[in-house]
């Protein structure tokens, strides 16, 4: 699973029939933009949980669905800066190894 940020909707009017009426979203995975099927109804600015591979196809509605990234959840609270901070009492990242 990936944690991504929704950037904007992607509108594609010429699509294969298997895409049906599913919405597509541009998401940011680190510094990489990707397209994900929106299975939950998120909006730009939301932090979301995405799944890939066969899990993405099944989450989008069918194992035959043509998706390799699907949004499966909206995160209620996520502070990406807090995830980068070291745990309290942990040695600094620049500290040397053990002897």
DSSP label of 81 = H
In tens, the pLDDT along 36-56 reads: 999 999 999 999 999 988 888
How many other CB atoms are found less than 10 A from the CB of residue 38?
23
Determine phi and psi for 35, rounding to 5 degrees: -105, 130
Global confidence as pTM: 0.76
In tens, the pLDDT along 15-40 reads: 777 677 788 999 999 899 999 999 99
Among candidates 42, 45, 50, 35, which has minimal Cα distance to 3? 50
Q: Give the model's pLDDT for residue 99.
A: 43
What is the C-alpha to C-alpha distance for residues 90 and 94, in angstroms, rounded to an integer? 11
Q: Beta strands of the chain (E only): which ranges? A: 2-10, 23-29, 32-38, 47-52, 69-74
The CATH T-level fold of domain 2-13+30-77 is OB fold (Dihydrolipoamide Acetyltransferase, E2P) (2.40.50)
Is 70 exceeded by the pLDDT of residue 91? no
In tens, the pLDDT along 55-78 reads: 888 887 777 778 889 999 999 998
């Amino acid at each position: 699973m990936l944690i991504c940020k929704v950037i904007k909707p992607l509108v594609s009017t010429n699509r294969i029939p298997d895409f049906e009426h599913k919405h597509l979203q541009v998401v940011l995975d680190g510094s990489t933009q990707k397209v994900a099927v929106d299975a939950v109804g998120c909006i730009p600015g939301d932090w979301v949980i995405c799944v890939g591979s066969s899990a993405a196809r099944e989450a989008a509605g069918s194992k035959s669905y043509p998706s390799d990234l699907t949004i499966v959840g909206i995160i209620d609270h996520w502070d990406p800066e807090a995830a980068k901070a070291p745990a309290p009492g942990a040695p600094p990242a620049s500290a040397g190894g053990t002897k």
